[in-house]
Amino acid sequence: MAKKNQTLGEFIIENQASFKYTSGELSRLINSIRLAAKVVNHEVNKAGLVDIIGAAGETNIQGEDQQKLDVYANDKFIQTLTNRNIVCGIASEEEDDFIIVNSQDENHQNKYVVLIDPLDGSSNIDVNVSVGTIFSVYRRVTPVGTPVKLEDFLQKGSEQVAAGYVVYGTSTMLVYTTGDGVNGFTLNPAIGTFYLSHPNMEFPEDGKIYSVNEGNYIHFPIGVKKYIKYCQEEEGDRPYTSRYIGSLVSDFHRNMIKGGIYMYPKSSKNSNGKLRLLYECNPMAFIAEQAKGKASDGYNRILDVEPTELHQRIPFFCGSKNMVIKAEEFMSKHTE
């Protein structure tokens, strides 16, 4: 049972037994993420003080400018997970290919793979707006004792055993699920400890916030345009409020607490939208469903999508259940 003010360390130990595979490996994994999150948090918080912000001059696989802190966060999460010999493989939004964690002495005995977006919304760093880390955990499908393969990473989101995010915001929070509800922990920076501050987080069934980059309106499918107009209409509890930070983690976090929908639809410019199925949509969808919300590509459940490649993109509609259902109705009714 989640107790407010419990530390994340205590919570992990206490809840280990409720997890169906109780080897302790998953607990150690969450612990490592907690540690890496603290290190990255420290660096993110001093971004304005030292010469660490700004483009690193490299471009990631999607052709986007990589910021220095992206590189830093990527390195820290990978280092923490590999040094402690906890996972058998890692895939990162910032890496072209997945990483085989080769534990010579252990001979590939670890069971879990981690997929991570080390610093999401990184274009917001330079302007002191919240960014986040997103992670997703699966049990490998290839035999223990052999190196991991692509198929270990290309699993449907419904196979996730854990997922979470860290939001480096006005305060830093780690929010995660192991399939038994969602709990949020706030970092006390003075002593470097995460405390359970938001037990059993749930999306309100209905919401009044819609979050979408309306600058892309002209390029959206007709169903999305009509749904946006519906949000803006004066009727009943509408018009809704528009809030778009441009950091998925922060927009999601606010919507989960207050009630709302986040959308990154396809457009005439990007036929699959922008967000990545494996590093962004699946983990957020798992958290959303565990928090009684809903996540869809506009027509179907995100967690049922069969991935075909590591860096695959997909349209994303996620948030309060009734809002996502309504958006889906508009999508099916207004096809082009």
Do the annotations mark residue 121 as ligand-binding? yes
Contact present, 48 and 128 (Cβ < 8 Å) = yes
CA atoms within 13 A on the CB side of 14: 10
Q: Which stretch binds Mg ion (CB under 5 A): 111-119, 160-168, 256-264, 306-314?
A: 111-119
Closest CA to 94 of 115, 123, 125: 115
- Token pair listed for 321: 């259940």
117 is a site residue for Mg ion (CB under 5 A): yes
Q: Is 255 annotated as a binding residue?
A: no
Q: Which long-range contacts (CB under 8 A, 24 or more apart) does 233-240 make?
A: 237/206, 237/208, 238/208, 240/207, 240/208, 240/209, 240/210
Instruction: Convert residues 118-137 into a mask of x (bound to Mg ion by CB under 5 A) and - (unbound).
Output: --x-----------------
**Cα–Cα distance measured from residue 278 to residue 153, given in angstroms and rounded to the nearest whole number:** 8
Closest CA to 295 of 283, 311, 279: 283
Q: Which does 289 bind (CB under 5 to 8 A by kind): Mg ion, ligand AHM, none?
A: none
Interface with ligand AHM: number of residues (CB under 6 A): 10
Of the candidates 321, 251, 322, 323, the residue with the CA atom closest to the CA atom of residue 280: 251
Residue with Cβ nearer ligand AHM (76 or 274): 274
In the set 64, 159, 180, 304, which binds ligand AHM (CB under 6 A)? 64
Which is nearer to ligand AHM, 66 or 110 (by Cβ)? 66
In the complex, what is the shortest distance from the CB of residue 54 to Mg ion, in angstroms, rounded to a whole number? 18
CB nearer to ligand AHM: give 92 or 247: 247
The answer to whether 244 is a known ligand-binding residue is yes
Question: Where along the sequence are the contacts to ligand AHM (CB under 6 A)?
Answer: 64, 117, 120-122, 213, 246-248, 274
Question: Where along the sequence are the contacts to Mg ion (CB under 5 A)?
Answer: 117, 120
